[in-house]
Chain A
Amino acid sequence: MKIREIASTVDGMILCSPEMADTEISSACAFDMMSDVLAYVKDQGALVTGLINPQVVRTAVMVDISCIVFVCGKKPTVDMMKLAENYNIVFIATDYDTYEAVGRLYSAGLKA
Chain B
Amino acid sequence: MSADCLRQEYVVSGNNFASAGSASEEVKSTLKKLGVSSADIRRVAIAMYEGEINMVIHAGGGVATVDIYLDRIEIVLADKGKGIENVELAMTPGWSTAPEDIRALGFGAGMGLPNMKKYTDKFEIESEVGVGTTVKMTIYFH
Contact = CB atoms under 8 A, between A and B. Distances in A.
Interface residues of B, number: 28
Contact of B21 (A33, A36, A62, A79): A62
Contacts of A63: 42, 45-46
Chain B at the A interface: mostly helix, strand, loop or mixed?
Answer: helix
B14 interface: no
Given A58-B21, A61-B28, A62-B21, A39 B45 contact: no
A35 B28 contact: no
A55 B105 CA distance: 8
Q: A-side binding surface: helix, strand, loop or mixed?
A: helix
21 contacts: A33-B109, A34-B106, A34-B107, A35-B108, A36-B109, A38-B49, A38-B50, A38-B111, A51-B105, A53-B17, A53-B18, A54-B18, A55-B17, A55-B18, A55-B20, A58-B22, A62-B25, A62-B28, A62-B49, A63-B46, A79-B18
Interface of A: 32-36, 38-39, 51, 53-56, 58-59, 61-64, 79
